[in-house]
Amino acid sequence: MEKAYIAGFIDGEGYIGIHRNKGRWFEAELAITNSNKEILLWIKDKLSISSSVRCIHKESNKPRYQLEIRGNQAVSRLLRILLPYLRTKKEHALLVIELAELKRQAMSGYKGKRKPINPERQEEIFRRIRELNAR
């Protein structure tokens, strides 16, 4: 039941995306923002992640807090667990999982050499996630 609740929270209050670092490589990101710090700490505890919950906006009467996880493998691992319960962000999750798999395959190169990553597919995934998040 907790997985379904957390997935619902991500569907409603979360962000699943990919950002481009230094214009060359892509990194997955999962963030949940809410004015209730305690619920974010509870989610952090239930997902057993080491990320911190930080205050991102203090100017209004109600501060907002954010729990953020970055990294292709870390985000992909969490999304695989929550995937059966996601509704509105399921396509986002599938794209991030695919990107992480492309990266994992490239890192497991033969005799210490990296395999080439499919840059066209990575770019397609990046563009599609941006489209989904623009809605």
pLDDT digits (tens, 9 = 90+) for 14-34: 999 998 877 667 899 999 999
Q: What is the pLDDT of residue 131?
A: 95
CATH code where residue 119 lies: 3.10.28.10
Q: Residue 10 belongs to what H/E stretch?
A: helix 2-13
* One-letter amino acid of 22: K
**In the chain, how many domains are there?**
1
105: containing domain: 2-134
The model's pTM: 0.86
> How remote is the C-alpha of 90 from its chain's centroid?
12
The DSSP symbol for 63 reads: -
Contact indicator for 28, 18 with CB cutoff of 8 Å: yes
CA distance 70 to 50: 11
Q: Would you say residue 111 has pLDDT above 70?
A: no
Binned at pLDDT 50, 70 and 90, residue 105 comes out as confident
What does the pLDDT average to over 68-97?
95
